[in-house]
Every structure is written in C-alpha cells, then in structure tokens.
Structure 1
Amino acid sequence: MLPVTDVFERSFIMDNQNLLNEMYQNLQMVLNTMPELTQATTDCDLKGCLEQQEQQFQDFFSRVKQAMTKDMQQPEEIGEIQKKYAEWMTKMKAIADKSTSHLAEMSIQGYTMGMIQLIQSSHKNCDASKDNLSMSTDLVKLYEESIDSLKKYL
C-alpha cells in the first residue's frame, strides 16, 4: 500500500496534467474553428471582433503550452476525426446562414460549450496547483468576455 503522501502527490500530478491538457484541447478546438467563422462573415466589425478574440485565445494557448513545457508534459492532441468534424460542421452551419447574428450565435455556443467543459474539468481536477486552477479561471473569464462582446451582434 502506498503512503498517504504518495497518493496525494500522484493526485496532484495527475490533476495538473489533466487540467492543463483539458485547457490545451479546449483552446485547440477554438483555434481550429475560429478561422471558419472569420472567413464566413462579411461584417467588418464582427470580423475584427473575431480576429481580436482569436489573438487572445492564441496568446492563452501559448501560456498553456508554456505551463506544460515547465511541467515536462506532452500535450495530447485532439483526434483528427474530431478536429475535422468540428471544422466541417462549422463550415456547413456558416454556409447555411452567413448572417452576422447567426455567426455570433455560433461563436457564443462554441464558447459556452468550451467554458462548461473547462469548469467541469476544474471541479474534477481540484487537486491541481493553484497556478493551474487560476489559469483555468482566467480562461473562463476570457470566454465570458468574448461572449459579452459578441452579444451586440445577435
């Protein structure tokens, strides 16, 4: 039987890895689908808003990769089928209705799904480091701010 300290240490390490990987995959999904929405819009204001958000998510993605490197963790990539399916569905929905309102709605729905997954992961991996839990909270705030800035386009 493992000593109690070893169990806690393993839980801490696993929760850190799981939370960082969840953030990595979450951001990867956002960054894979955002260009489809940006290309689909003809509204210059919405396009600018989406491009700014994409840069913010890219900066956050770099922050997560840096934390993973610091922890000597290899990221788990999103499966190719899942990635292509998300891109294809985004393209199809955007082709079906290119209105500014619909594209903003699609972005809000995607951000909401990502935010829910991230909050659930934070709760499930509650033994992660304070830094990683704080980073997760910061990402949730970025999602909330992004959603708020898109509401005017609905």
Structure 2
Amino acid sequence: MTQDIEMLDYICKNAEMGRDNLSHILDKIEDAELHKCLVSQMEEYQKTYDSAYEMLDNLGHKPESAGVMAKTMAHLTSDVKTISDNSPSKIAEMVIQGNTMGVTKMTKRIHEYDGDNKKIVALAQKHVAMEEDNIEEMKKFL
C-alpha cells in the first residue's frame, strides 16, 4: 500500500504543479486561442488531481502539497522567461518544456512503481498521454 500512496501522491503533485504553473502565466497571455488552450489544459490537470486525490482519500491519506519553494521557483522562472518576450511562441515553448519534464518524470515513476494497482497505473499513464497531447497542441503556437 505504501507504493500506491507514494504514486498517487506524486500524481497529485505533478498535476498540481502543472495546473498552478499554467494559472500563473495566464495573465501574461494576450492570444485568445492560446489562453483557451491553456485553460482547457488546467482543467485536465485538475481532473487528474481530483482522481488521484479521491484514490488517496479511499486509502485514508491526503496528498502532500507540491511545496511553496517548488512553486515559487517555477513562478520565478516563468516570470524571468516572459519578462522580455510573452509571445505565444515563447509561452508555448515554456509549456512544452514543462510538459516534457512532466512526461519524463511520470514515466520514470511508472517504471519504478512496484505496486499492482492497475487503476493507479492507468491514471499515471493517462496523465502522461495528456501531457503528450498538450505538447502536440502547443506546437501550433511555435
């Protein structure tokens, strides 16, 4: 059960960071289509978070937050990257980089997961697929 809790907690943290980072850059976006895409992606992150949260709750646990320091560093990084260029291309590039990091880290976690809960693996794989879809969606803004 420890493996299940750790995996679900990681899914929550990953989805939380994605959602919060997108939320942080939304006010910098002037392109209506890009804004709409990122709001939709935020909603997908929230759905993933909610699913993992519910599974954790059923195990009698609550997720740990991604952490103030991690969020602050991510926000500062995006602020610095967009201070001189907040074009749709630059924003898309940043989102692609974030999604790529998410895919890499979640895939690694899936491979390290020793539990046998197929629902948890399916949720993690669905999250990876969502991040990969986000990357494809952002390419049109490059």
What TM-score do you get using the length of structure 1 for normalisation?
0.87
- 2:12–2:52 CA contact under 8 A, matched in 1: yes
SS in 1 for 2:63: coil
Shift of 1:123: 0.8
Report the aligned-residue RMSD: 1.2
Normalized against structure 2, the TM-score is what? 0.94
CA shift, 1:37, in A, is 2.2
Q: Which residue of the partner structure matches residue 135 of structure 1? A: 123
Aligned residue for 2:92?
Answer: 104
Q: 1:114 aligns with which of 90, 102, 108?
A: 102
Aligned to 1:144: 132
Q: 122-131 or 20-29, which moves further after superposition? A: 122-131
* Corresponding residue of 1:7: none
Q: In the alignment, which of 62, 81, 92 is matched to residue 80 of structure 2? A: 92
Moved more, 23-32 or 72-81: 72-81
Which blocks of at least 5 consecutive residues in structure 2 are unaligned? none
Gaps of 5+ in 1: 1-12
1:64 aligns with 2:52: yes
Structure 1 vs Structure 2: percent identity of aligned residues? 25
1:43 aligns to 2:31 (yes or no)? yes
Give the structure with higher Rg (CA): 1
Specify which of 2, 5, 8 is matched with residue 20 of structure 1: 8
Which consecutive aligned stretches of 4+ in structure 1 deviate over 2 angstroms post-superposition? Answer: none
Q: Is the 8 A contact 1:19 1:128 kept in 2?
A: no
Shift of 1:101: 0.5
